[in-house]
Amino acid sequence: MRLVLGIETSTAQALGVAVVGEEGLLAEATARGEKRHAEYLFSFIEWVLKSAEVKLEELSGIAVSIGPGSFTGIRLGVAVAKTLAQVLSLPVFGVPTLEVLALPWSAQPLPVCPLVPSRRQEVFAALYRRGELLKGPWAASPAEVAAELRSLDSVLLTGAGAGLYASVFRELLGERVVFPVPLPDSPSAQVIAFRGLELLRQGARGDLFELSPLYLRPPAISGGG
């Protein structure tokens, strides 16, 4: 029985932990809230494992979202995932945050554009169809992302950035944009864990020293000195 722990800390929207097995979701904890990820992550992991009646030693792999999103948030999850994998000698899989947002829409035919808010009125975005990356990812203004989507007949927008910039996209793309109702605005730890399980089944190595964040933006240098 393969068991995978999924960790989501990559955006400010939510902290999430899930454990999944071959038969499906065993336990998941999610809470909205900013800047408390570092404090509550281990309480969540502890609760999820206990609720699923899974011991740490029984896990077969770790999966974690790697961004783009909050730089600090990404690092929290990746640092924990890498270290758990190091100590437990487990494979660890990084899943791009935009993919996490797109995966729940893989079964329907519309192209999906997940949007994660970034600083300075910008978003991280990419275009997926049936779980496959078609274009991007981009770090750009909502208007620039809209320009990339203009050639499409129809596109489904998801993620916190979709809600935040709904009016911009409606204005620039009109009837071509579709918003799911209700709009899921945070990446799901369950989706991350299932993606990890799939990679495990495919025989992916999941080397912890190869796991790195997807920042998508160079560091700001202004703080030097």
Angle at 33 between CA 30 and CA 35, to 5 degrees: 115
Please, which residues bridge with residue 18 across strands?
6, 28
45 binds other proteins (CB under 8 A): yes
**Structural tokens at position 120:** 């300075």
Name which of 76 and 115 has its Cβ closer to other proteins: 76
CA torsion angle 29 35 36 42 (round to 10): 70
219 part of the interface to other proteins, by CB under 8 A: yes
In angstroms, rounded to a whole number, what is the distance separating the alpha carbons of residues 9 and 80? Answer: 10
Beta-carbon contacts of residue 120 (< 8 Å; ≥ 6 apart): none
Contact window for other proteins (CB under 8 A) among 69-77, 125-133, 152-160, 164-172: 69-77
Which region among 73-81, 130-138, 151-159, 179-187 touches other proteins (by CB under 8 A)? 73-81
Contact flag: residue 203 with other proteins (CB under 8 A): no
Give least dist CB 220 to other proteins, A: 6
Quick one: which of 27, 31, 38, 164 contacts other proteins (CB under 8 A)?
38
From the list 34, 51, 53, 56, which residue makes contact with other proteins (rule: CB under 8 A)? 56
Contact by Cβ (8 Å): 210, 204: no
Q: Which of residues 116-145 bind other proteins (CB under 8 A)?
A: none
Our CB check for other proteins shows the closer of 83 and 108 to be 83
Q: What is the DSSP code string of 170-203? A: HHHHGGGEE--SS---S--HHHHHHHHHHHHHTT
Size, binding site for other proteins by CB under 8 A: 33
Binding site for other proteins (CB under 8 A): 38-43, 45-46, 56, 71-72, 75-76, 78-80, 82-84, 86-88, 208-209, 212-213, 215, 219-221, 223-225
